[in-house]
Structure 1
Amino acid sequence: MAKEDLLVLDGLIDEVLPDGRFRVRLENEHKIIAYTAGKMRRFRIRTVVGDRVQVEMTPYDLEKGRLIFRERTPGMAGPGQRKGARR
């Protein structure tokens, strides 16, 4: 396995922690701490408890990861459908 190889796993957000970190339960029932990736912060993608996410992890530290994708759920507002218009 090369140094650049990353593991991508699916999980569910269990708890929101301070500083943009989350406690995520993976499909194999393993719990890790994950932080929000830069693109998710840049585009202000919000994640809440119960969201299904994809986590990127290094094989060297299996206790930490990075949230790289949040799956869309039915009933969410799509692009251009804001609840309140801000100016």
Structure 2
Amino acid sequence: MPQNPIVTEPSTKDVLELRGRVEELLPSAKFKIKLENGHILLGHLAGKMRLNRIRILPGDEVKVEV
């Protein structure tokens, strides 16, 4: 076993960016989002949007990172 193992952290650029539309508001600041390809997924606000109290409403176009 090596004395100083190399630790790699996941890159923040290893994500998929998809576009979608908010279909439904759910409790705990969660949203049902319908992607352009027809899939539906559950999403939540990013930290900066929550801190700045950005409101998301049904029908809003959003960018989703998966």
**TM-score scaled to structure 1, two decimals?**
0.61
Find the partner of 2:22 among 13, 32, 50.
13
Higher Rg: 2
**Deviation at 1:21?**
0.2
- Report what 1:40 is aligned to: 49
Q: Any runs of at least 4 consecutive aligned residues in structure 1 with deviations exceeding 2 A, and if so which?
A: none
2:64 is equivalent to residue 55 of structure 1: yes
Distance 1:33 1:9 in 2: 13
Larger RCO (CA under 8 A, 6+ residues apart): 2
**TM-score scaled to structure 2, two decimals?**
0.80
Name stretches of at least 5 consecutive residues in structure 2 with no aligned partner.
1-9
- Report what 2:35 is aligned to: 26
Aligned-residue CA RMSD in angstroms? 0.8
What fraction of aligned residue pairs are identical, expressed as a percent?
A: 45
Report how many residues are paired: 55
